[in-house]
A and B are shown apart, each in its own frame.
Chain A
Amino acid sequence: MSDVTTYSVTTRTRASVVAGLIALALAVVAVVLPAFASRALIQDLFFILTMLSLAQYWNLLAGYGGLVSVGQQAFVGFGAYMLFGPVILWGLNPVPALLLSGVFALLLALPTAFFAFRLHGAYFAIGTWVVAEVVRLSVAMWKDVGGGTGTSLPREARSEMWGVPQIEAMFDVRTSAAQDILAYWIALAVAVATIGGIYAFLRTKRGLSLAALRDNAEAARSVGVDAARIKWTVFLIAAFGTGIVGGLIFLQNGRISPDSAFSVIDWTAFVIFIVVIGGIGTIEGPILGVLVFFFLQTFLADFGSWYLLTLGALGIAIMLFAPRGLWGLISEKTGLHLFPIQRRLVIGPGRDR
């Protein structure tokens, strides 16, 4: 057609190729890790991976979608209960039941969004929290899963999970250690799928329109961006993912109660801390943030309420002095982007992205 110049579009940078290769190598190491690692390390990594996934979903909502929810514990808790219910009542295998966690969290997200999307800014945040409280109180009346005091998964349900006997045989470990390894592997798969999925989404035209809406909502609407649809999309994705992670966390825990499953501190405050300290609105930020959070928790956990105060003070300090978080500081200094989404127009024939 046009014989003047040809163009191609790329998002790839040298840094992103290197980062991709390193990520691949890390993933391989992570998969085979249970062969050498101690059980304590596997448990720590499980914690890190699940918090990382929760943080990525909250970041997608707030950092990319501008939807500052403080009610994500609704999806963690509801997802977890929708795993416990079918496993306890119908004897469903817990591994496939994780899918139910996601699906039910998605179903809960429909009325939640319908209600909360009528609210804006701080009212949206409060609205999501109210929904979480309502769900917590409702679940506390569900006698079959322990009502207000909670319940445990049957021992056999966990020891007979898909994969547990095989892992016992493969690594020659006891059942409880095999359960940890299985949970770790699932958490790893979920974290990789979460990061990969969010990155892929951000590179679509809908992902691009998220950035446009964030920069200038009025102009975005005037060029045909469907703001309502994209908000729904982001909210539902986040709910589904958060529900699965919630199911997984409590599957590994083995015990559930309304207070722990719907804890605003554990599943929202800590998650916000991770995202803010690492760098909101980037994929790299929550990865860095969860590591900082883990080390702070490990070293400060003995100090009780001082631990929470330190986290709070640190979070506020970062918000004031480095609003783009630790990763923001790093990428500002180095220009580094490990997950680039910027499309560059390159003159001359080139490979398509």
Chain B
Amino acid sequence: MAQTASQIAGSGSAPEPAPDSAPRILSLTGVCKSFGALKVTDEVSFELPQGQALGIIGPNGAGKSTLFNLITGNIAADAGRIEFLDTDVTRTPPMSRCLMGIGRSFQIPQPFDKLTVFENLLVAATHGRKLSEREVGSDCAAILDRTGLMRVANSPAGSLSLLQRKRLELARALATDPKLLLLDEIAGGLTDAECVELVDTIRAIHRGGTTIVWIEHVLHALTSVVERILVLDFGRVVAVGPPDEVMASKEVREIYLGIEV
């Protein structure tokens, strides 16, 4: 392989030890996106080895969610190349990317309001995995158990509290049985106990072999799961590397001055 992610980012972080030898699952090369005159994603390049958990941090408006939308295809890239499992998916529609194994949560929860929580998962599992309802029923029930949604399984998703909606985002993404799971700020607003629970859940998913990219402002939750952190600012990758090194770097401390570290 030609370059490691940290070399591309050129942030001065040390290259990583083990995971880079694993085959890469996702790679972005020079990806750009502008909304009008606003450049929201600016020449973003990085590679993600299979099985790794990557954290993404950066100030509000840095372009983190947009980066997810580019990876899932909900937004089309202006330039650059996105590869998933060594296939060019830059122009692939979101539905196909989901079928290939990219699962996501939305920062602002997007539940199917009139469907029940269980049905929300059924849609994802039957379509995202191309299986029948019968085949996925017990998997969906297990995911509801795991994400603490069993009590509200038969309630309309529109009636859930914000925290429950965020859990539903995670649960619905899991129901598609993703190889790459993209999580966008699902820990905000949780109590400490809930946060510990969430971290345990995500760790377990990660141990199961799923590659994870997690955008999160709750840094202690993030750093207790991820092996690597990527920092975005004004749409650019300013640092990428192991959490302790990235958090110790001067640039990142400047960006995050006044924000919990």
User: Which of A215, A221, A223, A344 is the most central at the interface, judged by chain B CB atoms within 10 Å of its CB?
Assistant: A223
Closest Cβ of chain B to A216, distance in Å, is 5
Q: Do the beta carbons of B141 and A221 come within 8 Å of each other?
A: no
Instruction: Say yes or no: A224-B98 contact (C-beta < 8 A), given A208-B115, A216-B110, A216-B112.
Output: yes
Q: Do the beta carbons of B110 and A218 come within 8 Å of each other?
A: yes
Instruction: Say yes or no: A224-B122 contact (C-beta < 8 A), given A9-B133, A205-B133, A211-B112.
Output: no
A219 to B154, CA, bound (A): 20
Instruction: Say yes or no: A224-B112 contact (C-beta < 8 A), given A205-B132, A342-B119, A345-B154.
Output: no
Instruction: Say yes or no: A223-B115 contact (C-beta < 8 A), given A9-B133, A205-B132, A218-B110.
Output: no
Specify which chain B residues have a CB less than 8 angstroms from the CB of A174 in the assembled complex.
Answer: none
Specify which chain B residues have a CB less than 8 angstroms from the CB of A8 in the assembled complex.
Answer: 137
Closest Cβ of chain B to A194, distance in Å, is 24
A221 to B103, CA, bound (A): 11
B232 within 8 Å of A by Cβ? no
A216 to B112, CA, bound (A): 6
A342 to B114, CA, bound (A): 10
Minimum CB distance partner of A219 in chain B: B110
Chain A proximity mask over B110-139: 1 for CB below 8 Å, otherwise 0: 111111101110111011111011100110
Q: Which residue of B95, B103, B129, B144 is within 8 Å of A225 (Cβ)?
A: B95
Minimum CB distance partner of B138 in chain A: A7
A89 to B185, CA, bound (A): 68
Query: Per DSSP, are chain A's interface residues mostly helix, strand or loop, or mixed?
Result: mixed
Q: Do the beta carbons of A212 and B74 come within 8 Å of each other?
A: no
Q: Do the beta carbons of B153 and A345 come within 8 Å of each other?
A: yes
Specify which chain B residues have a CB less than 8 angstroms from the CB of A219 in the assembled complex.
Answer: 106, 110-112, 172
Q: Do the beta carbons of B112 and A215 come within 8 Å of each other?
A: yes
We find that the number of chain A residues with CB closer than 8 angstroms to chain B is 29
Q: Do the beta carbons of B74 and A223 come within 8 Å of each other?
A: no
Instruction: Say yes or no: A221-B95 contact (C-beta < 8 A), given A9-B133, A208-B122.
Output: yes
Q: Do the beta carbons of A223 and B128 come within 8 Å of each other?
A: yes
Q: Do the beta carbons of B112 and A345 come within 8 Å of each other?
A: no
Chain B proximity mask over A2-16: 1 for CB below 8 Å, otherwise 0: 100101110000000
A352 within 8 Å of B by Cβ? yes
A223 to B104, CA, bound (A): 8
B12 within 8 Å of A by Cβ? no
A1 to B95, CA, bound (A): 31
Instruction: Say yes or no: A223-B127 contact (C-beta < 8 A), given A2-B142, A7-B137, A345-B141.
Output: yes
Residues of B within 8 A of A (CB): 72, 74, 93-95, 98-99, 103-104, 106, 110-116, 118-120, 122-124, 126-130, 132-134, 137-138, 140-142, 144, 153-154, 172-173, 175-176
Residues of A within 8 A of B (CB): 1-2, 5, 7-9, 205, 208-209, 211-212, 214-216, 218-227, 342-345, 352
Chain A to chain B: the 10 pairs with minimum beta-carbon distance, closest first? A224-B128, A223-B124, A219-B110, A224-B127, A215-B112, A205-B126, A224-B98, A7-B141, A212-B123, A345-B118
